[in-house]
Amino acid sequence: MDRGAGETVDEMWGWPWRWLLPLAVTALCMVAGFKLLHILWWNPRRIEKHFARQGIRGPPYRFFIGNLREMVGLMLEASSTPMVPQSSHNILPRVLSFYHHWKKIYGTFFSEASKHICASRYSSTFLLWFGPTARLAVADPDLIREIFVSRAEFFDRYESHPLVRKLEGDGLVSLRGEKWAHHRRVLTPTFHMDNLKLLIPMIGKTVVEMVDKWTAMSSAAGGGEVEIDVADWFQGVTEDAITRTAFGRSYDDGKAVFRLQAKQMVFAAEAFRMVLVPGYRFLPTKKNTSSWKLDMDIHRTLVQLIGQRRKEATIVSEVNKTESAAAATAVKDLLGLMINATGGGGRRSTAPSTTASPISVTDIVEECKTFFFAGKQTTTNLLTWTTVLLGMHPEWQDRARHEVLLLGMILNETMRLYPPAVATIRRAKTDVQLGGLNIPQGTELLIPIMAVHHDTRLWGSDAAQFNPGRFAEGVARASQYPTAFIPFGLGARMCIGQNLALLEARLTLALILQRFTFRPSPAYVHAPTVLMLLYPQYGAPILFRPLAPSSSADVCNAGHLFASRETRSPS
């Protein structure tokens, strides 16, 4: 049949389409509308009632946005004024203001034994709404143990927004299931203390260069106190350490990769500001195209590097030219282990046999992003807060200078009061029981690490005081609740990099303590705030006064610094 331009719909498709088509479209719209209403209204109301029946309360759900507006309002209000008094460590109301505020109003605990809501126990379980998603705040150590250890199989890691994933990489932090287990097994040997100790001379050298520069700055200023914003300087040390851990002897090439990644993170952070514009990240804007180009550059550089390492693996002896090259070769770096797990290391794979698919180049790229992201800022923050706290508490600074092993306690107390990761999130994979509560599938569990660390019921009435002495008998005895101290998380997904972080922190602080006394600058404003991690809102300017000059080379060999009983296996 010849279908001319003047043909009507009736002639083309037959008369029923005249009303069937609009009807189908209307039906589809209605289904989509109902689905949307279900997600945005009925389901949240249902879940709210479900928890209310079990005695769990919280701020009421608001259509679409949940409690986001109140949360942002509370956070902005809290961060508008610095800590009062400036010496206070009672930072929870400022840093997690929404949690602190709602916990006071809604905190309850459901006792299975009495089938009653108790205002006793830890009074910290309540429900809040992240948009239409239910989040149960849980800070009770028994429940935390269930979530991370005894019933961990029912809870998944929270899946970050794609833009956050672009920042943190699709590596170990966000992987799940068999692929996560495979990567974790492959990468763990890098973080064993015996392996990390091989990095001490190299990390030590970077720290010595840093403190030498501070000394030179002080000399140039007449030999007195010099003001240093430590956070910026510590980034150099932690970036260096993670580059050596990730790339070992391919340090220079690794630095180039991480430099590209640092640029990429700036783009990703900028893109995050446009998070509310749907599909923005797919638009070919100038920034997006630059970011895509960077992705390709990173990929290409890594492919070249992998090819080079595969070649080198067959001529290992060539690298053993100097002592430090020999040490660098001996280091089990992340790149080497991953290349080995691709089966292309030029020798037989030493990776444990597994049903998981081999690690691909894209996997390696993603892991590099993850380790750069997870390893740099966290440790920088730990170093920054420890320096601030030692500056605020000169008595502990003196003690640590004379007894360097006290640094273990000091770092623990710093991470208790100022945990770099203030909270973490899990998601119920199925309907599940938790401490007598019925948790529906999809509920997110917010574990406010900082709130657990500041809880007077777990730490005593001096919970907000800086008292490293509470860790004198080790982590296990610092609180009567073993899960009350969780700066590195808990269970199988506990931080893989904790040994490296502690090694870097001890080495850096030991060298600083040998060379300087320090105190917060009058320009320092005590205002901890959270932006993914815990930051000093107005920087951390510290005044350093040089002590008598000393050679620091011996500290680089100070293996005793790391022989602490608190060192844990990352496996």
Contact segment (CB under 6 A) with ligand HEM among 97-105, 486-494, 523-531, 551-559 equals 486-494
Token pair, residue 505, equals 């922190």
Residue with tokens 């331009």: 5
CB of 195 to ligand HEM, least distance (A): 12
Q: Figure out which of the listed residues 121, 151, 184, 185 binds ligand HEM, where binding follows CB under 6 A.
A: 184
Question: From CA 187, how far away is CA 322, in angstroms rounded?
Answer: 27
Contact segment (CB under 6 A) with ligand HEM among 277-285, 398-406, 455-463, 490-498 equals 490-498
Q: Figure out which of the listed residues 379, 414, 517, 529 binds ligand HEM, where binding follows CB under 6 A.
A: 379
CB of 145 to ligand HEM, least distance (A): 13
Q: Figure out which of the listed residues 74, 127, 144, 172 binds ligand HEM, where binding follows CB under 6 A.
A: 172
Residues at the binding site for heme are: 495
Q: Figure out which of the listed residues 420, 448, 468, 536 binds ligand HEM, where binding follows CB under 6 A.
A: 420
Query: Please, which residues have CB within 8 angstroms of residue 357's CB and are 6 or more apart in sequence?
Result: 179
Nearer to ligand HEM, 411 or 458 (CB): 411
Q: Figure out which of the listed residues 47, 127, 136, 242 binds ligand HEM, where binding follows CB under 6 A.
A: 242
Largest CA distance in the chain: 100
Contact segment (CB under 6 A) with ligand HEM among 108-116, 196-204, 374-382, 512-520 equals 374-382
Contact segment (CB under 6 A) with ligand HEM among 44-52, 450-458, 481-489, 555-563 equals 481-489
Contact segment (CB under 6 A) with ligand HEM among 229-237, 385-393, 472-480, 491-499 equals 491-499
Q: Figure out which of the listed residues 306, 364, 495, 511 binds ligand HEM, where binding follows CB under 6 A.
A: 495
Question: From CA 529, how far away is CA 537, in angstroms rounded?
Answer: 6
CB of 570 to ligand HEM, least distance (A): 9
The alpha carbon of residue 503 and the mean position of all alpha carbons in its chain are separated, in whole angstroms, by: 18
Question: From CA 102, how far away is CA 410, in angstroms rounded?
Answer: 31
Q: Figure out which of the listed residues 110, 126, 485, 488 binds ligand HEM, where binding follows CB under 6 A.
A: 488
Residues at the binding site are: 495
Contact segment (CB under 6 A) with ligand HEM among 253-261, 337-345, 370-378, 466-474 equals 370-378
Bridge partners (DSSP) of residue 226 are 544
Question: From CA 528, how far away is CA 534, in angstroms rounded?
Answer: 7
Which has the closest alpha carbon to 363: 377, 351, 346?
351
CB of 380 to ligand HEM, least distance (A): 9
Determine the residue type at 514. Q
Question: From CA 164, how far away is CA 153, in angstroms rounded?
Answer: 24
Say if strands 533-536 and 528-531 run parallel, antiparallel, or are unpaired: antiparallel
Q: Figure out which of the listed residues 78, 374, 388, 434 binds ligand HEM, where binding follows CB under 6 A.
A: 374
Question: From CA 268, how far away is CA 245, in angstroms rounded?
Answer: 24
Residue 444 DSSP one-character state:
E
Contact segment (CB under 6 A) with ligand HEM among 4-12, 112-120, 315-323, 418-426 equals 418-426
Q: Figure out which of the listed residues 389, 458, 500, 542 binds ligand HEM, where binding follows CB under 6 A.
A: 500
Degrees, nearest 5: CA angle 326-329-333: 145
Q: Figure out which of the listed residues 496, 510, 527, 530 binds ligand HEM, where binding follows CB under 6 A.
A: 496
Contact segment (CB under 6 A) with ligand HEM among 55-63, 200-208, 216-224, 368-376 equals 368-376
493 binds ligand HEM (CB under 6 A): yes
Residue with tokens 């492959």: 186
Nearer to ligand HEM, 396 or 418 (CB): 418
Question: From CA 482, how far away is CA 495, in angstroms rounded?
Answer: 17
Token pair, residue 299, equals 């990929």
243 binds ligand HEM (CB under 6 A): no
487 binds ligand HEM (CB under 6 A): yes
- Backbone φ/ψ region at 307: left (φ over 0), alpha (ψ -120 to 50), beta: alpha
CB of 491 to ligand HEM, least distance (A): 8
Binding mask 381-400 for ligand HEM (x = CB under 6 A): -x------------------
Q: Figure out which of the listed residues 256, 305, 341, 501 binds ligand HEM, where binding follows CB under 6 A.
A: 501
CB of 148 to ligand HEM, least distance (A): 7
Can you give 79-141 as a three-state secondary structure string?
Answer: CCCCCCCCCCCCCHHHHCHHHHHHHHHHCEEEECCCCEEECCCCCCEEEEEECCEEEEECCCH
| Neighbour-count burial of 163, counting CB atoms closer than 10 A to its CB (0-12 exposed, 13-18 middle, 19+ buried) | middle
Nearer to ligand HEM, 237 or 302 (CB): 237
378 binds ligand HEM (CB under 6 A): yes
Query: Please, which residues have CB within 8 angstroms of residue 2's CB and are 6 or more apart in sequence?
Result: none
CB of 251 to ligand HEM, least distance (A): 15
Say if strands 133-137 and 444-447 run parallel, antiparallel, or are unpaired: parallel
Q: How many residues bind ligand HEM (CB under 6 A)?
A: 25
Nearer to ligand HEM, 95 or 543 (CB): 95
Q: Which residue is nearest to ligand HEM (CB)?
A: 497
- Backbone φ/ψ region at 6: left (φ over 0), alpha (ψ -120 to 50), beta: alpha
Nearer to ligand HEM, 51 or 371 (CB): 371
421 binds ligand HEM (CB under 6 A): yes
CB of 108 to ligand HEM, least distance (A): 25
In DSSP notation, 163-194 reads: HHHHHH-SSTTT--HHHHHHHHHHHGGGGSHH
Q: Figure out which of the listed residues 67, 250, 387, 424 binds ligand HEM, where binding follows CB under 6 A.
A: 424
Residue with tokens 């296996």: 569
Q: Coil, helix or strand for 25?
A: helix
Which positions touch ligand HEM (CB under 6 A)? 157, 172-173, 184, 242, 245, 370-371, 374-375, 378-379, 382, 420-421, 424, 487-489, 493, 495-497, 500-501
